[in-house]
Amino acid sequence: MCKMRILKLELVFLLNLLLVSGDEYNNDVSEHSLELTQSLNLARQELIQETCRHFPPRYSLDELPPSHLEHILINEEHKLLYCYVPKVACTNWKRILMILAGKANDTDVLSITASVAHTPGMFRNLSSVPRPERDYMLENYNKMIIVRNPFERLLSAFRNKLEGDAPSAKYFQDRVGRRIIKAYRENPSNESLEFGHDVTFKEFALFLTNRSEDMADVVNNEHWQPITNLCHPCLIKYTLVGKYETLLDDSLLALHTINASHIQFPRLAHTSGTAEKLHRYFSQLELPLIRRLYKLYKHDYRIFNYDLDNIVGFDLG
Ligand SMILES: *[C@@H]1O[C@H](CO)[C@@H](O)[C@H](O)[C@H]1NC(C)=O
Ligand SMILES: *[C@@H]1O[C@H](CO)[C@@H](O)[C@H](O)[C@H]1NC(C)=O
Ligand SMILES: *[C@@H]1O[C@H](CO)[C@@H](O)[C@H](O)[C@H]1NC(C)=O
Ligand SMILES: *[C@@H]1O[C@H](CO)[C@@H](O)[C@H](O)[C@H]1NC(C)=O
Ligand SMILES: *[C@@H]1O[C@H](CO)[C@@H](O)[C@H](O)[C@H]1NC(C)=O
């Protein structure tokens, strides 16, 4: 039933594509692509709602502890709520939020230092907003989320935080890597125990799928928490649903929608070899472990319409 629905939505989208691109006499290319992106955005919203009807959330918004809304950043000037998801272009969107709020100049988005954009307390978030005001914002503001294939995001977090040697990686290796090695490696070297710098992808997967209490604090880290847990797409009706795969178009639509088209969204070269990388890392895991990992992210997979084809060549769902 769900599959049928997806098919139908994609058909509608394709039809739109054909109809619009058949219209050769309209020169306004950007209006064109905005319209296309908007129809895709609407199809995504419909699919989210459809999936949420099949898998209703366990809480209502009013029952949710306010702290669960802290990923939703507020910009009042442009009436925007943005649920930021680490590893899905959130640095660039936080930079843009700074510009929207007048905390930075709009000449060159990338000139804003990443660490500045991530400064705690830089933006007001929905967790601390009194309920009447919160409800007003949820009703009247544009609500944006940008999602990504869950395993791709997971791998990106692993490579960036546990494999890398940037300062923020050192921090994670010290705080998380050492504990993973202590818990999951037989006969670890002193060096590995001391630095936590060489966690394997398999150890990382064991760590994530083992819900042991004593690791809960680091298992629930925002970099690998399911997007569904961070942004509650079944409770909050997002009006701008972007995807990493179509980031530029979706970001242009969002900027247009909030009357901020003057801001240049950074056009970064896409990292290549993603499929190859996914295959390389996930082939280090046995199928039952991939299955357990998939279970953790299955709501993300379903709600945002991703599949496992590029990992194992078939759908585990
Ligand atoms: C959300 O706001 C609260 C209250 O101002 C703050 O303590 C918290 O750090 C913020 N969280 C995030 C992720 O920005
Ligand atoms: C923006 O640039 C102008 C001129 O360079 C400067 O005076 C101003 O302080 C800048 N504003 C912010 C928020 O950085
Ligand atoms: C590792 O540490 C233990 C205990 O501190 C020590 O006995 C051992 O010699 C160390 N091994 C190496 C290879 O440094
Ligand atoms: C979970 O981790 C603990 C050690 O932290 C280990 O004793 C236990 O066997 C693991 N469980 C699974 C299912 O891997
Ligand atoms: C954008 O501008 C239009 C036209 O001026 C206005 O109707 C709309 O409310 C604005 N939207 C936002 C989010 O500011």
pLDDT digits (tens, 9 = 90+) for 17-71: 444 443 333 334 477 799 999 999 999 999 999 999 998 888 899 999 999 999 9
Q: Indicate which atom in ligand 1 lies nearest the CA of residue 71.
A: 13
Residue 212 — pLDDT band, cuts 50, 70, 90? confident
Give the DSSP letter of residue 239: S
Token pair 């700074």: residue: 98
Q: What is the pLDDT of residue 310?
A: 65
**CA-based nearest residue to 293, from 181, 202, 193:** 202
Report the pocket of ligand 2 as residue ranges, CB < 6 Å. 103-105
Mark out the alpha helices in the chain (DSSP H runs).
2-21, 29-54, 90-100, 114-117, 131-140, 150-157, 167-172, 178-184, 190-195, 201-209, 216-219, 227-231, 247-257, 274-282, 287-296, 298-303, 309-312
Its sign, for the CA torsion 85, 86, 92, 96, is positive
**CA-based nearest residue to 39, from 16, 23, 21:** 16
Per-residue pLDDT of 155-183, as tens digits, reads 999 999 999 888 778 999 999 999 999 99
Q: Give yes or no for residue 137 CB within 6 A of ligand 5.
A: no
Lowest mean pLDDT among 137-151, 165-179, 226-240: 165-179
Q: Indicate which atom in ligand 1 lies nearest the CA of residue 123.
A: 14
Q: Which of 98, 99, 105, 106 to mutate to test ligand 2, by most ligand atoms within 8 A of the CB atom? A: 105
Residue 136 — pLDDT band, cuts 50, 70, 90? very high
Q: Indicate which atom in ligand 5 lies nearest the CA of residue 258.
A: 13
Q: What is the pLDDT of residue 309?
A: 75
Q: What is the pLDDT of residue 32?
A: 76
Nearest residue by C-alpha to atom 10 in ligand 2: 105
Distance 269 CA to ligand 2 centre (A): 28
Distance 41 CA to ligand 2 centre (A): 35
End-to-end CA gap in the chain: 14
In the predicted model, what is the mean pLDDT of the chain?
87
Nearest residue by C-alpha to atom 4 in ligand 1: 128
Q: What is the pLDDT of residue 190?
A: 94
Q: In the sheet where 240-243 sits, what is the strand order?
A: 72-75, 80-83, 142-147, 240-243
User: Dihedral angle at the C-alpha atoms of 75, 81, 87, 90, nearest 10 degrees?
Assistant: -20
Distance 218 CA to ligand 3 centre (A): 27
